[in-house]
Structure 1
Amino acid sequence: MKRLFSTSSSTVDSKEMKKFQLLAHKWWDEEGEYSALHSMNDIRVPFIRDTLLNMSNNHQLGNPLSGLKILDVGCGGGLLSEPLGRLGASVTGIDPLEDNIRTADQHKSFDPVLAKRVQYKSSSLEEIVEESMETFDVIVASEVAEHVADLEMFIKCCDQVLKPEGSLFITTVNKTQLSYVLGIVIAEKIIGIVPEGTHEWEKFVPPEELQHLLESSGFSVKAVNGMLYNPLTGSWSWTESMSINYAVHAVKSRGQGQSSHTDPLVRDAT
């Protein structure tokens, strides 16, 4: 299979790496800097699980995702990889920061069930494209799109490592005035539920832009759902509004090189 693009450039932003280097040991502190990501599992894990179950009739009770190979891109300390592994999936978590992978491996060791189901690798997405062409049934990229250096290249890499008709799940932050006020000014600078400097508003991604990038790369967007974080309760919920956070489910086309067009923004009630 011919490669669709050159990987001489990188999706990894060195400035972003430096930010997360300082927090690599704090991933599993549920009351610490990553508390919002811990509670996000309450809605993102069921969203991934139920979407995949609705697409297949073959699943085992207790291990509903058994038989699926999932790539968790930008896995951090393994906050999403572990619950997906416990649902029966074979999960590969990749992160360019070696300290994150060390943290993930250490935490995984506490649960023998995860030993054979979850593996971690210090790598960027484009670095595994060559060895992983059409390898994975599912890719999850949760809170990653707003940190990559080249989003279009990132999505093309996702397309290359996904099997035809494979699923891509993305959660990210919209680029609005409200997301700037709530996501940066309040969350980072005032109440400190997110480490200051975590986000750059210029890198936030409007859902319309993300949908266009996905469809121009051969994906069919199946759902775009708004997400809302309540800092008072520390909990997430689904919402009609996509003005701050949102989740996307897209499916890779069966064949390569199919033409696509951008439809009005897709929504799906979850």
Structure 2
Amino acid sequence: MTVTIEGSTGTPSTPSIDPDEVAKFSAMAADWWDPRGKFRPLHKFNPVRLRFIRETAEQHFGLATGLKEPLKGLRLLDIGCGGGLVCEPMTRLGATVTGVDASEKNIKTAMTHALEQGLDIDYRAGTAEGLIDGGEALFDIVLNLEVVEHVADPHQFLKDTASLVKPGGLMIVATLNRTAKALATAVVGAEYVLGWLPRGTHDWSKFVTPDEATAGLKAAGMDVEPATGVSYSPLSDSWKISSDTKVNYMIVARRPVE
């Protein structure tokens, strides 16, 4: 649901928002942040992935649990950040957050909402390749959420984004598996039957299997954990961690200390 990476567009930069644009992007921010609006599926999905990110980071970095800002002192990158639905919670957890999206409109929307919330987030319009070309400093945590299924070359994209993880850091990938079940539920069901997503949001042929994602991450020198499934429960209208990776799944990859 974000405009993502097809190729390098130069070093990501922070766009400016002039006064005439404020109302326009405030309206867009309200749309992104409306839990009952067109981004409702992301709002429903957000709690389970935010909890997974927090708990994974706490375990990986040996952080105390139960703290208000457990990620304080960690530098985090959210690739394909859209309107900032993950950047803002990560900032509130104490991380120093950079959000990058290829859509300048998304970035301006995210910037506007963050300003309204009094949050300091480094939002940039651009691509992962642009960060690499610009010699960007490495990150403790790189989030690669619902992006890889939209890019032209998933294997290379995973290698590129993994190269932005510092030694001892980690990456979390969330994406869709290329299975018949995913075609039936994530495409036909979600887009054409239930109308949760605009038709054409996903191209099933570009979904990435856990084996393919693992291969791309290992090619970048990452230690990769087995995929964790994320499943939807119609009865509770919520998502939960599960053993079923046939539709949605997340993978944790760690950069060894040199």
Using the size of structure 2 for normalisation, the TM-score is 0.85
Structure 2 equivalent of residue 142 of structure 1: 145
CA contact (8 A) 2:223 2:256 kept: yes
CA contact (8 A) 1:142 1:172 kept: yes
Contact residue 167 and residue 256 of structure 2 kept, 8 A? yes
Instruction: Assess, with a 3 A threshold, how the Cα gap between structure 1 residues 69 and 228 changes in structure 2: closer, same or farther.
Output: same
Q: SS of the residue aligned with 2:35?
A: coil
- Matched residues in 1 for 2:101 and 2:146: separation? 13
Query: How far has the Cα of 1:29 moved from its partner?
Result: 2.1
SS in 2 for 1:137: strand
Q: Whole-Å Cα distance in 1 between the matches of residues 33 and 209 of structure 2?
A: 30
**Structure 1 residue 33: deviation in Å?**
2.1
Q: How do 1:102-251 and structure 2 match up within 5 A?
A: 102-112=108-118, 114-115=119-120, 118-231=121-234, 233-251=236-254
1:53 counterpart letter in structure 2: E
Shift of 1:57: 3.3
Which of 41, 44, 51 lines up with 2:46 in the alignment?
41
Counterpart contact for 2:155–2:215, Cα < 8 Å: no
Shift of 1:201: 0.4
| Runs (4+) off by over 4 Å | none
Equivalences for 1:91-102 in 2 at 5 Å?
91-102=97-108
Q: Is the contact made by 2:79 and 2:144 (CA closer than 8 Å) also made in structure 1?
A: yes
Q: TM-score, normalised by structure 1?
A: 0.81
Match of 2:257 among 249, 254, 257: 254
* Structure with larger RCO (C-alpha < 8 A, sep 6+): 2
- Consecutive unaligned residues of structure 2, counting only runs of 5 or more, are 1-5, 10-27
**Matched residue, 1:5:** none
- In 1: Cα distance, 2:34 partner to 2:244 partner: 30
Query: In structure 2, what is the Cα distance between the partners aligned to 1:109 and 1:234?
Result: 31
Count how many residue pairs are aligned between Structure 1 and Structure 2.
233
Identical aligned residues as a percent: 37
Q: State the 1:230 CA deviation.
A: 3.3
Taking the TM superposition and a 5 Å limit, the aligned residue runs for 1:80-91 are 80-91=86-97
More helix by share: 2
Partner of 2:24: none
Q: Is contact 1:11–1:150 with CA below 8 Å preserved after alignment?
A: no
Shift of 1:95: 0.2
Contact 2:214 2:224 in 1 (8 A): yes
Relative to structure 1, is the Cα distance of residues 52 and 70 closer, same or farther in structure 2, using a 3 angstrom cutoff? same
Task: Quickly say closer, same or farther: Cα 1:185–1:222, change in 2 above 3 A.
Answer: same
Contact kept? 1:215, 1:221, Cα under 8 Å:
yes
CA gap of 1:33–1:90, structure 2 versus 1, over 3 A, is same
* Alignment root-mean-square deviation, CA: 1.9
| Distance apart, 1:80 and its partner CA | 0.6
CA contact (8 A) 1:11 1:148 kept: no
Deviations 1:1-36 (A, max 9, x none): xxxxxxxx8179xxxxxxxxxxx6632221122111
State the distance in 2 between where 1:233 and 1:222 align.
Answer: 29
State the distance in 2 between where 1:129 and 1:59 align.
32
Shift of 1:253: 2.8
Contact 1:228–1:237 (CA under 8 A) maintained in structure 2:
yes
Which of 30, 33, 38 is 1:28 aligned to?
Answer: 33
2:231 alignment partner, SS class: strand
Q: Which residues of 2 match residues 47-86 of structure 1 at below 5 A?
A: 47-58=52-63, 61-86=67-92
Provide the rounded CA distance (Å) in 1 between the counterparts of 2:158 and 2:64. Answer: 28
Deviation at 1:56, TM superposition (A): 2.4
